Amino acid sequence: MERLHGCTICDKVFKRHLRMHLRSHSGTKPYACGVCEKAFPRKEHLLVHQRTHTGEKPFKCLLCEKAFTQKKYLQFHEGNHSGRTEKPHVCVVCDKAFKKSEYLQIHRRTHTGEKPYKCAQCNKAFVQMGDLQRHRRTHTGERPYRCTFCEKAFVQKGDLQMAFTQKKYLKKSECLQAFVQKGDLQRHQTIHTGEKPYSCHVCSKAFTRKGYLLIHQWTHAPQK
């Protein structure tokens, strides 16, 4: 049985690369670009970045010979070949494809900078009509989205959804510590309740977190 390594910060478990994962918590970026000094947590991220300076595009399409700096861009492009009938409207700048011509027209504005929808009150301009309509509420004071828990009203639907989630799930624990996600709150509450829901099937020893159980189980593995 291969030994597992647990992160003491977020409870994730790794067979390898724990040290690399810890950089996501510490913010350490040991790999710096010699041209622009931009730094990265992983060497492969630096190698991809360096292509912006060298112009290297090692990933080539076998159908049209178009080349890309990253494999994921090539895979996205290849999907456009296979799905041309579903998304026949293709951007000539970035090769992104769309089902309808009007979607392509809106997308093109990200390249041209065109903002055809202007606010009559402050002259601020927007790419899409929906963005202008949301902006107008800053002038009218309209708040069409109302929370069913606290009756507070919001300008945008996304703000309402965030408030709804916080009211429904993200309650403070008995020590008044607050959490962004429901799962983090549930894991924290085991400190107060003493609950240990993860039990070893070999020796019945129990743990508060699954990651601790997985690490413990390695002690039962036969030694090589």
- What pLDDT score was predicted for residue 151? 64
C-alpha dist (Å) from residue 86 to 5, 63, 98, 169: 45, 18, 8, 40
140 inside domain? yes
- What pLDDT score was predicted for residue 184? 67
Is the pLDDT reported for residue 130 higher than 80?
yes
176 inside domain? no
179 inside domain? no
200 inside domain? yes
- What pLDDT score was predicted for residue 181? 63
- What pLDDT score was predicted for residue 163? 60
The alpha helices in the chain, defined as continuous H runs, are 18-26, 43-54, 71-82, 101-112, 129-140, 157-168, 182-193, 210-217
Q: Pick the range with the lowest mean pLDDT from 13-17, 102-106, 166-170.
A: 166-170
The tokens for 205 are 């020893």
Is the pLDDT reported for residue 4 higher than 80?
no
Is the pLDDT reported for residue 70 higher than 70?
yes
Last residue of a domain, one of 17, 33, 54: 54
Higher per-residue pLDDT: 123 or 160: 123
By residue range, what is the domain housing residue 22?
A: 5-54
The answer to whether the beta carbons of residues 217 and 200 sit under 8 Å apart is yes
- What pLDDT score was predicted for residue 219? 78
The tokens for 34 are 């010699």
By three-state DSSP, how is residue 50 classified? Answer: helix
Last residue of a domain, one of 54, 76, 95: 54
Higher per-residue pLDDT: 195 or 5: 195
Domain containing residue 217: CATH number: 3.30.160.60
Specify the pairing of strand 198-199 against strand 206-207. Answer: antiparallel
Q: How far apart are CA 186 and CA 76, in angstroms?
A: 38
61 inside domain? no
Mean pLDDT of all residues in 21-45 = 82
Q: How many domains does the chain have?
A: 3
Mean pLDDT of all residues in 210-221 = 78
- What pLDDT score was predicted for residue 170? 46
- What pLDDT score was predicted for residue 169? 46
pLDDT (tens digit per residue) in 153-177: 776 767 666 665 555 444 444 455 5
199 inside domain? yes
214 inside domain? yes
pLDDT (tens digit per residue) in 170-197: 444 445 555 556 666 667 667 667 778 8
- What pLDDT score was predicted for residue 173? 41
- What pLDDT score was predicted for residue 160? 63
Same domain, 122 and 154: yes
Mean pLDDT of all residues in 135-161 = 73
Higher per-residue pLDDT: 60 or 160: 60
Per-residue confidence band for 13, with pLDDT thresholds at 50, 70 and 90: confident
- What pLDDT score was predicted for residue 191? 66
Is the pLDDT reported for residue 224 higher than 70?
no
153 inside domain? yes
